[in-house]
Amino acid sequence: MSSAFPEIYLVRHGETEWSRSGKHTGRSDIPLTEAGEEAARKVGDRLQGLSFSVVWSSPSQRASSTCALAGFGADRIVKDDLAEWDYGAYEGVTTKEILAERPGWQIFRDGCPRGEMAADVGARADRIIGDFRRTEGTILVFSSAHFLRVLAARWLGLPPEGGAYFALDTASISVLGYEHDLTEPVVRRWNQK
């Protein structure tokens, strides 16, 4: 499926020890595992032949390493707003551990103590979407799961909490774009491995 309109390719970083174990990894700078590095190289294979007007990355080493191993490191521009959700007190903690202390907790609804709420992440996503709309051509973005999920929700005009409905695996590629014209944002592809 190709489009006459600009597209935004979203790449979730490759596997880290924390993403494999389910620990919330917001601002901790955890490197890719060997499997994550290999998956990042395969992202490059899957993007081969595509041309991007800009390549943006979150400031994390997991996103920048994925970008570099995929073959786009020389073109990378760091955008702080692409950083993962700030998990505050839940940094390095699994959902199972959080639920043991706080039954019923949901990140998209409840946010994180001493960290961000969905609205905070949504405000950053809205700034990135503004940048998308001011940039001509196809854009390539490397970031993390929860941020990209909120970004997709906001792209569609959903509240930031709508990110709860978009599961995202490591080293996956998703594509945002338009349908009939630039007033109809859509998800063209999601969570492709």
Q: Which residues are catalytic?
A: 13, 84
Rounded Cα gap, residues 150 and 57, in angstroms? 16
Q: Where are the alpha helices (DSSP H) in the chain?
A: 17-21, 34-47, 61-69, 95-101, 107-110, 118-133, 145-155
28-to-6, 7, 187 alpha-carbon distances in Å: 33, 30, 29
d(CA 58, CA 103): 31
Residues 6+ apart with CB under 8 A from 78: 56, 57, 58, 59, 64
Q: Provide the 3-class DSSP secondary structure of residue 174.
A: strand
